[in-house]
Amino acid sequence: MKTYKADAADPDAIVDELLNGGGAVMFKGLFAPEDIAEARRIILEHSNNDAAKVTHFQGAAAKDGQLALQRRVWNLLAKGDVFARMATHPVLMKVLSKFLGTGFIMGSIAANRILPGGPGQEPHVDYPYWDFHAPETHPIGLNASFPMNAQVTVILDPFTEASGATAYVPGTQKHLRYPGPEDDFHGKSKRMLGEPGDTVLFFGAAWHCAMPNRSDHERCAVLTNYLPKWVKPLEDMPAALPRELLDTASPELRQLLGFDYPYPEVLDTADAVNAEGRK
């Protein structure tokens, strides 16, 4: 995986790597230790019990009664300012504007904790492609020649082979389909190895999954999903956020929450103006 420092992140080169190369890049030390510590503290505070939360790609864990070893924390924007800072980091915003268009939005921002002994996920692709195991529910001819997804993983604990660092198969983002047993995912995969503060940006059409945590420490990360402005988000964040946060959101955060794109709209009651077109 190609790696970059924040001050040497060339958006054109990164976009080419996401579309035509391995499908993933890493920014080394993008977030300071104090931000990592704050994010981790908040996430643990909200997930130190084993209360079940909706999760995905954990069918085997559910069958084996091991879902409590993976703990999700949703709606992170409501839980600490550090998560808004992470979501709107200038380096990420600049690259994502090139990749998804300048009006891109955020589909979700959540945390995933995999405790020691936690099982891995099934290999998959991410929202809005994530149910491509049922391709008939998507438009005919849909492909990955243009992106409708970007994923950002902010690493909070060491991502090692033992701790279950995310596995992915480089180049699979070019051919949009769901991986199957015949694809030998685990035989072909590489790992997203990194230290706290490192951040991975990848095209979620690439086959990937969390791996089993066989270490003596948990493996925690902040996971953010970004989308073109016209794709329906995964999380209904405006409905879940406090009014004060919405009223004081920065321009960058307002964009990510979809406030800059008016649709869907009740057009029968909209202002009687020429709302679209060149002029």
**Whole-angstrom distance, CA of residue 270 vs CA of residue 235:** 26
CA separation, residue 263 to residues 19, 95, 143, 218, 231 (Å): 28, 25, 24, 41, 10
Is the predicted pLDDT of residue 1 greater than 80, yes or no?
A: yes
Return the structure tokens found at 175: 């051919």
- Kindly report, residue by residue over 77-90, the tens digit of the pLDDT: 999 999 999 999 99
Q: Which domains does the chain have, with CATH numbers?
A: 2-269 (2.60.120.620)
| DSSP conformational letter for 194 | B
Phi (first) and psi of residue 61, to 5 degrees: -65, -40
- Kindly report, residue by residue over 213-259, the tens digit of the pLDDT: 999 999 999 999 999 999 999 999 999 999 999 999 999 999 999 99
Cα torsion 69, 74, 79, 80: sign: positive
CB 86 within 8 A of CB 39: yes
- Kindly report, residue by residue over 153-205, the tens digit of the pLDDT: 999 999 999 999 999 999 999 999 999 999 999 999 999 999 999 999 999 99
Is the predicted pLDDT of residue 66 greater than 80, yes or no?
A: no
CB 39 within 8 A of CB 28: no
